[in-house]
Amino acid sequence: MDNYIRSLDMQAIVSAKVEADSFIEMYNKGEAILLDVRYGFEHKVWGLSFTCNIPLNELPDRLGELPKDKIIVCACPEACRSNIAKQYLSLKGFNAKILTCGMITLMERLKGGKAKDLHLEV
């Protein structure tokens, strides 16, 4: 952990962030997945079909469900849990980033006809 903290220069911090449009582009190219780290009860009320849902407190036991060959964009309604997940995954060797706008803003970006911007198999 000490070495990880020492490696966090400004470039590392900036490159760890992903905005909604950048995520959509990476997702459409098959380069990234969206990891929803909200708890199960939250996902049941408001789940997204294109995410991988692993609650933050289950992450250590479910790392095997995540691809090592894709960018893992961590998301929650704001950025608290996703930030913790990003740091943890980075320490475990994953290429992880944070959806800086949060899931609510991403959904705002994809509402209505703009939902077609995310290329999903229907």
Spans of all domains in the chain: 16-113
Give the pLDDT confidence of 15-60 residue by residue, as tens digits.
889 999 999 999 999 999 999 999 999 988 988 889 999 999 999 9
Give the pLDDT confidence of 60-117 residue by residue, as tens digits.
999 999 999 999 999 998 778 999 999 999 999 999 999 998 899 999 999 999 999 9
Rounded CA separation 65/83 (Å): 19
- Please name every residue paired with 90 in a beta bridge, in sequence order, or none if there are none: none
H helical segments located in 49-117: 80-91, 102-109
Contacts of 99 (CB under 8 A, 6+ apart): 18, 20, 23, 34, 73, 74, 75, 79, 82, 106
Assigned CATH for 16-113: 3.40.250.10
pTM of structure: 0.91
CB atoms under 10 Å from CB of 73, counted, come to 26
